[in-house]
Amino acid sequence: MTRTDRVFQLVGSCNNYPWGKQGEKSLAVQLHKKTDPNFEIKNDEFYSELWFGDYPDFPARVLETGELLQDVLQKHKDELLGKKVIEELGGQLPFLPKILSIAKALPLQIHPNKELAAKLHKEDPENFTDPNHKPEIAVALSKFEVFAGWKPLEEVQLLFKRLGVLRQFVPAGIEDWSELTLREVTRSLLQADEKTVKSVEEALAKASKEELGKQTYILDLLPRLQDQYGATDNGSLVALLCMNFLVLDAGDAIYIPADGIHAYLSGDIVECMARSNNVLNAGFCPPADRNNIDMFADTLTFKPSTRSKDSVILPSQDQGKVKIYKPPMSEFDMLRLSLFQGEGEDIEAHRGPGVMIITHGNGTMLADGKTFRLKEGSIFFVAPGVKVRIDSPGGLEAHMAVVA
Ligand SMILES: [Zn+2]
């Protein structure tokens, strides 16, 4: 790579969390192998995520030279990161893009706000590896099932009124629920011992359709979650009783704010987050992997943006053949380009860097005076101020995180 290259191809890194899809079934590793043909996919291994940012845990490299993306960006900050990122966003790639292939529930989690993240990083840098917040978006590549945010209060309250076994979790003397009630109920559900969780799940499995009202989907999901994490995992109770359950189609997106509760359940997605790896876990993982439950419960947000299915969905704006998802925060936007056979589209220059992955199909890209071949799985870095033209004879879909 010469000093002046402003567009270049990357190769990402895969990881192996136990919730990932197995062997060839994982889209994350399939896409990875197209860029790294020597990568050997093992059929008994789980491939959960493909990361392609400059974060040190699973870093991307420049395909041609093997250099770490992080090193190249730091060497050529002005050309590759640009003024806005250097002056306002910390002088590193401010977002972290990933492909996730999910076979079973990820840990029930939140990503702490900036203030708490900075405090945790100071006290325990081994487990909290940066001081940043991590709001995130997920764009579905296929059917995507997810628990995210809270059901409307009245729905949760009704359930806890109708099912006698749940009353033990409600603070005494409460008639009308507030956000505070939901916080305390969530805390009690997460702190319940295994015996209690088991007996509540047994009662829940026998609940009648009248008792569950429009929440009868709980009867289908409970055995699935028990199959994945046993009958004593506190996460199942919080997810089923208190959280929204959503089923998204390809192209739909959700936004998870700082401190927003979520647990992805199944599907393939493009995920992008602020440059951070901080997480607090409270369920769908071994008890030893859970963080302090009081800290988790005290940090949870109940803002209106987390309180109903519709408010969790992130709308997109159309611009030609590009859909733009703008999470309500400053670090990045996500673009989704869809081209049918024979179509082409320009992607305007941005003020900061962009990272693009071809999630389907193939084509060509004209950028920075050069022509690049695009195929499924290809990942490209695009510097600030570079306009991109993409054409596809057979159809193509690409996702690109950018600093707008
Ligand atoms: Zn998350």
Q: Rounded to the nearest whole angstrom, what is the distance from the C-alpha of residue 385 to the centroid of ligand 1?
A: 31
How much is the pLDDT for 304? Answer: 79
AA identity, residue 351: R
For the residues 259-271, what does the mean pLDDT come to? Answer: 97
Q: Rounded to the nearest whole angstrom, what is the distance from the C-alpha of residue 361 to the centroid of ligand 1?
A: 28
Question: Domain segments of the chain: what residues?
Answer: 93-314, 322-402
Domains 93-314 and 322-402 share a fold: yes
For the residues 111-140, what does the mean pLDDT come to? Answer: 92
- Spell out the alpha helix ranges (H) of 268-338: 293-299, 309-312
Average pLDDT along the chain: 95
How much is the pLDDT for 309? Answer: 82
Has residue 139 got a pLDDT over 60?
yes
Q: Rounded to the nearest whole angstrom, what is the distance from the C-alpha of residue 262 to the centroid of ligand 1?
A: 7
| 3-class secondary-structure state, position 292 | coil
Has residue 311 got a pLDDT over 90?
no
pLDDT tens figures, 49-58: 999 999 999 9
Has residue 350 got a pLDDT over 60?
yes
How much is the pLDDT for 330? Answer: 65
357 burial via Cβ count (<10 Å: 0-12, 13-18, 19+): buried
CATH architecture of 93-314: Sandwich (2.60)
How much is the pLDDT for 82? Answer: 96
Q: Rounded to the nearest whole angstrom, what is the distance from the C-alpha of residue 124 to the centroid of ligand 1?
A: 20
For the residues 108-136, what does the mean pLDDT come to? Answer: 92
- Return the number of other C-beta atoms located less than 10 Å from residue 19's C-beta: 23
Has residue 308 got a pLDDT over 90?
no
Q: Rounded to the nearest whole angstrom, what is the distance from the C-alpha of residue 381 to the centroid of ligand 1?
A: 24
CB 355 within 8 A of CB 382: yes
Q: Which residues are annotated as a binding site?
A: 109, 111, 136, 262
Q: Rounded to the nearest whole angstrom, what is the distance from the C-alpha of residue 136 to the centroid of ligand 1?
A: 7
Q: Rounded to the nearest whole angstrom, what is the distance from the C-alpha of residue 276 to the centroid of ligand 1?
A: 11
Both tokens assigned to 347: 């992607």
For the residues 276-284, what does the mean pLDDT come to? Answer: 93
How much is the pLDDT for 331? Answer: 83
State how far the Cα of 42 lies from the Cα of 46, in Å rounded to an integer.
8
Q: Rounded to the nearest whole angstrom, what is the distance from the C-alpha of residue 383 to the centroid of ligand 1?
A: 27
State how far the Cα of 244 lies from the Cα of 146, in Å rounded to an integer.
8
Has residue 149 got a pLDDT over 90?
yes
Q: Rounded to the nearest whole angstrom, what is the distance from the C-alpha of residue 263 to the centroid of ligand 1?
A: 7
Q: Rounded to the nearest whole angstrom, what is the distance from the C-alpha of residue 109 to the centroid of ligand 1?
A: 6
State how far the Cα of 307 lies from the Cα of 300, in Å rounded to an integer.
12
State how far the Cα of 150 lies from the Cα of 239, in Å rounded to an integer.
9
How much is the pLDDT for 175? Answer: 86
How much is the pLDDT for 264? Answer: 97
Q: Rounded to the nearest whole angstrom, what is the distance from the C-alpha of residue 111 to the centroid of ligand 1?
A: 6
CB 10 within 8 A of CB 381: yes
Q: Which CATH class is domain 322-402?
A: mainly beta
**Which pairs with CB-CB distance under 8 Å and at least 24 residues apart come from 373-378?**
374/398, 375/34, 376/31, 376/34, 377/30, 377/31, 377/32, 377/33, 377/34, 377/35, 378/9, 378/34, 378/35
Has residue 2 got a pLDDT over 60?
no
Has residue 3 got a pLDDT over 60?
no
Residue 4: pLDDT band (50, 70, 90) is confident
Both tokens assigned to 121: 């990083």
AA identity, residue 321: K
State how far the Cα of 150 lies from the Cα of 88, in Å rounded to an integer.
33
pLDDT tens figures, 63-82: 999 999 999 999 999 999 99
pLDDT tens figures, 161-194: 999 999 999 999 988 999 999 999 999 999 999 9
| 3-class secondary-structure state, position 323 | strand
**DSSP conformation class of 38:** T
Has residue 394 got a pLDDT over 60?
yes
Q: Which residues are annotated as a binding site for Zn(2+)?
A: 109, 111, 136, 262
Q: Rounded to the nearest whole angstrom, what is the distance from the C-alpha of residue 43 to the centroid of ligand 1?
A: 26
| 3-class secondary-structure state, position 80 | helix
Closest by Cα among 91, 55, 87, 83 to 70: 55
Has residue 1 got a pLDDT over 70?
no
**% of the chain surpassing 70 pLDDT:** 99
Q: Rounded to the nearest whole angstrom, what is the distance from the C-alpha of residue 110 to the centroid of ligand 1?
A: 6
Q: Rounded to the nearest whole angstrom, what is the distance from the C-alpha of residue 48 to the centroid of ligand 1?
A: 13
